[in-house]
Structure 1
Amino acid sequence: MTAVAGIDVGGTKCLGVLFEGGEIVNSVRRPTPHADDLVSTLAEIARELGEYKSLGIGVPGMITPQGVVRESPNLTGAIELDLRTQLEKELGHVIDVEN
């Protein structure tokens, strides 16, 4: 498996894309949820994308090197949200969370 995935968390939508061989092979779009539902929404998107060897999540705002969302202008209620740990637990593999 050589596919990689990324999810962009925006102000109005979350867009997940699966790439293989430099080509987009799948995409999933959902409205951006409140912070309380962010982990479950991102996990749902990741699962719908299909199989991949790595997953990166792009989130606006202040993100620690450990993947904690300190605060985000686009995510109401996302203060000190340990997004990486929660998503890794939900999905069962390592992910990367960046700004």
Structure 2
Amino acid sequence: PLAYQDADGAVINGNYAIEHGLNPVKDAIVIEGSSSPYVNIVAVKDGRANEEALQKLLKALQSDKIKTFIEDKYDGAVIPAFQSKETADKLGADY
């Protein structure tokens, strides 16, 4: 990540850019749009999706408090994309 300072251009993952004081929204020449198919997901083994601990984790991760934290902390460089598998399936997402 620090090698970008010696290069004419570089491709850097957003999380690495943020860790090194860059703001991908403001500092990038090109950035993926909000319709990018690349997101982080929570995945579990078959049969474990309804376990209480997982449901608590999902509720916390998808809360307004976490959404606000992401928006404030990452200033548009990370976009909260909370949706269930069922919702994504209806929208045509590929799992």
State the TM-score, normalized to the length of structure 2: 0.30
Structure number with higher strand proportion: 1
Higher helix fraction (1 or 2): 2
* TM-score (norm: length of structure 1): 0.29
From the CA coordinates, give the structure whose radius of gyration is larger: 2
